[in-house]
A and B are shown apart, each in its own frame.
Chain A
């Protein structure tokens, strides 16, 4: 029996959905997280560490707490419900869109932190040099800061993606278990176990272990290589 036959369409749907969610979340996080990381790295505002703490909250909070607040926010009586009303829906909870928003919040620190560190490690000097070579702040950012912070972006993207793939608590709270919409891998495993479908649970769980191992190994190797190239 080949692997493909071993995986029921149900599993494939969950895998595809998970990858879609993680990819979209990572893309949004890079767009949203980069300015946040830049500001945290460069600002001298006294309250910036307070902002940094808020960004880092998901690291410490139980996913259920986060999920609870997200549910309230995304639900029919929260701002998410109002937003959903724009296209005639009642709520963002239990939808793919809601899941994306939740994942972005949940994985934010995993993307912001490495990028912020990379911006900080770079120091002021490269930007000062760029400025004395007539580069506008925008040009200095794109041609100097971003390339020099590349390892941070890579780490952030990989961590954001992997973390989104692995989230469970938040998904369960705000996504529920709608096949093809919100039923991602982690929830699917839970579901298979609940319904005593051990074989499917085994395949998915094993796949996740391999995936996690590959991610960490690849990241370590790439970082090592980048560091060598930078010397």
Chain B
């Protein structure tokens, strides 16, 4: 069974001009995002995990020791899948040969715990590309093949180094759903390097925040997003990502009814989704306002009972609040950015029962 510490990483050393001292643990399932500004050492951490680069430290994945004081497994002996920023397909091989490189050109028969060939082809929509040469693929198609190729090497851990950053916006939006489907369909843990908060909010389950060669925080996405001692919550575009389950669909108004912990959201939905479908909801801190009483008449769809868990002053004008959804405040967390004046005028304090008015929440399929 997987536990929180299925993946344990600690590297220390000098990298080019700056010191790297990164230590974190990640669970053996789901997507863990390594997030931080360019040049903070995220990619180096990934390369060290794959064994492509060597720094002192330890690296344990699912009970296997890849590196410690006495061990350094060469990259090809580590069951790792690596998706580089550029697809890096072998130009002298067809898509099919690229996909089957790790299995020496053979399609392995399906087996327990093995990523199936047909499954990958299906999941990534590669069927019609098999005979093509990499030169004749679009950027998005190339990256999909690269992801498939990495998956078919039967990794215990999939490393993705900004797989979308080399693509234009449109192509990125075309690939994101594939990544979300992978997440649903496969049980392989993913370490996902990115400097794009949008990708984190949409994909990540866990978050490792990096800065200047070090890890400043790591943990479940929601916890990091709503930790006001961390820089993420204080940003102007701060938001929380909520994992929601479709409960129903209001045909008349085209509204999806979504369950999160401690609340039910109504969100405009383009299509009818089956009950039980999992979605990800993004709620920005700037889109949440506070009311002491439940407003009698308002155009805002989502007015949700909640409690103030904590508050922190951002500057002389504004504050950031962490709210717990539900009458008792024990549900999912939300962020709300309000003025200090409102805080004083409403007489708010930690523990106050309030109503959170959510002006908008955006959906991403999950």
Contacts and interface: CB of A to CB of B under 8 A. Distances in A.
A132 B81 contact: yes
A10 interface: no
Contacts of B249: none
A155 B135 CA distance: 23
Interface stretch (A61-69, A121-129, A187-195, A211-219): A121-129
B52 A132 contact: yes
B84 A129 contact: yes
Interface string B146-190: 000110010000000000000000000000000000000000000
Contacts of A230: 91, 135
Given A136-B76, A148-B92, A128 B101 contact: no
A134 B92 contact: no
A208 interface: no
B76 A137 contact: yes
Nearest to B53: A128
A135 interface: yes
A128 B75 contact: yes
Contact of A131 (B74, B79, B84, B149): B74
B52 A125 contact: no
A158 interface: no
Contacts of B91: 148, 230
A132 B90 contact: no
A148 B92 CA distance: 7
The A contact surface, by secondary structure, is helix
A35 interface: no
A224 to B, nearest CB: 16
B190 to A, nearest CB: 14
A147 B149 CA distance: 19
Contacts of B92: 147-148, 150
Contact of A125 (B80, B88, B101): B88
B153 A128 contact: no
Contacts of A136: 76
Contact of A133 (B52, B74, B86, B102): B102
Interface in A117-170: 125-126, 128-137, 140, 143-144, 147-148, 150
Contact of A129 (B74, B78, B90): B90
- Size range of the interface on B? 20 to 34
B150 A132 contact: yes
A132 B101 contact: no
A130 B74 contact: no
A133 B135 contact: no
Contacts of B74: 131
Contact of A130 (B84, B86, B101): B101
B84 A125 contact: yes
B35 interface: no
A129 B81 CA distance: 9
A38 to B, nearest CB: 18
B335 interface: no
Given A132-B75, A134-B102, A144 B90 contact: yes
Interface string A96-129: 0000000000000000000000000000011011
Contacts of A130: 76, 101
A132 B80 contact: yes
A147 B150 CA distance: 21
B11 interface: no
Contacts of B88: 125-126, 129
Given A125-B84, A231-B135, A131 B75 contact: yes
A71 B15 CA distance: 51
A140 B76 CA distance: 10
Interface in B38-93: 50-52, 74-82, 84, 86, 88, 90-92
Given A130-B76, A133-B150, 17 more contacts: A125-B84, A125-B88, A126-B88, A128-B75, A128-B82, A129-B84, A130-B101, A132-B50, A132-B150, A133-B76, A133-B149, A134-B102, A135-B76, A135-B102, A137-B76, A144-B90, A148-B90
- Going nearest first, the 3 A-B pairs with the smallest beta carbon separation are A132-B82, A131-B75, A133-B102
